[in-house]
Structure 1
Amino acid sequence: MTRRIGLFVLLAGLGAAAPALAVEAPISGAVCAGEGAGQRCTVSAVQPFADNRGGLGELSISAVRDAACTTLHIVFDEPIALTRPVTLTVDGTPPQRFYTPRQLSDLAGALDEGPQPGAVPPAGPPEFTRFLSQVAEGAIADDDAGPEMLKRFAAVKEPRRIGLTCGPMERLLPPIRSGRPLRLEFQMEANTATQVYHWARLDRRTVEFRLDGLLEALDRAMPGS
């Protein structure tokens, strides 16, 4: 099986509170670089949200488009807990989960090695194990395994940001364009100074917002895309 870890090295560079109303944050003007097929445009917005400690937080949201696809990047104003789930759900669709670069690299390595007699599956989310089983059983052809892996799992979480690459974003584009709200759920990193008295629910965050305006701004910036 062809090595696929390099794809995830690129991915690594991507850059319960009461939910905020699913509103559209003010959108910045498009910033574009390059020309023709090499053009790349970014449109951004800042989404404030109320936390359950009586304060406010912010998400910096950017939609990026080039000749290949549209991607989504979200930057947090404080570090998030990578050991806890991060999910993004568009109303009416299954939640999209995010994974650390290490998790994705381990999955790519397991896929490259193929099924090994008596081998213990790598530790990771159960959806990884199901995927590897589908490949081993032939339900997913070997030639399709790499693209399918990207389509399902190319969603990266890092301490201060998350990113949706081409495959997962392509699945979500139709409902986003129709104006359906998005729901982002994550947990802030606990302050180690107060860990003895830490109550995990205080650091849970739920933010609702819309992105159809961001996509429309990209359409105007790149009318031929």
Structure 2
Amino acid sequence: MTRFATTRWSLILDARQAETSRSALEEICRAYRAPVLAYVRRHGYSPADAEDLTQDFFARFLERRWDAELDPMRGHFRAFLLLAIKRFLITADEAAHAIKRGGGLVRLAADDQLEALEAPHAESPERVFQRVWALTVLERSFARLRNEARHAGKEELFNQLSPYVAERPVADEYHRIAEELGLRANTVAVAVHRLRARLREVVREELAETCSGPEEIDAELHALRDTLNHVTG
């Protein structure tokens, strides 16, 4: 099985080394905070309480070294993180219910709770987690593309073309952009095609950072596409 030099799993291994543990775990927490926060928020906690719970979750992740439970051969990091936040919220809810009225964590008011439950597609917390995870992967991938363009001195071109990387342009859109940039329309089309191809590569690399091998990457890529199709469908 192919071994990946730069993966979340290698970060986990780094986390078990004294000289790199804190920075490795903090990188994991920064990278995937958004899906955890979305999951907590969807459980009906107020924005402030959701922020506090998410912070507490990752603080415990760091302090209690939950990374020690991770095994690259037993599943991808996304599944582990979802299971960890589920268990954490169960414990948090039990603690909140054990505190007398007027103390502890406070759920959303009735109106806010109803609004949350009536969100598009009535998404479950798990579906919200998967959606925000997928969007996080895309956001990180686009950030890498932008950084590459900046280093190549093509950030302005990237800014003009990036809206058409994920979505097809309307009729004559390439001609309009070409006129603005002083380029030919087919040159713009080729540039967008190359950006799309590079985005696919970068997304796969991002997914590789949470997987242990090629087969798992393919499965994660399929899950990501399925999630995004659900969002746009």
TM class, shorter-chain normalised? under 0.3
**Structure with the higher fraction of residues in strand conformation:** 1
Asked which structure has the greater CA Rg, the reply is 2
Structure 1 length-normalised TM: 0.23
**Structure with the higher fraction of residues in helix conformation:** 2
Structure 2 length-normalised TM: 0.22
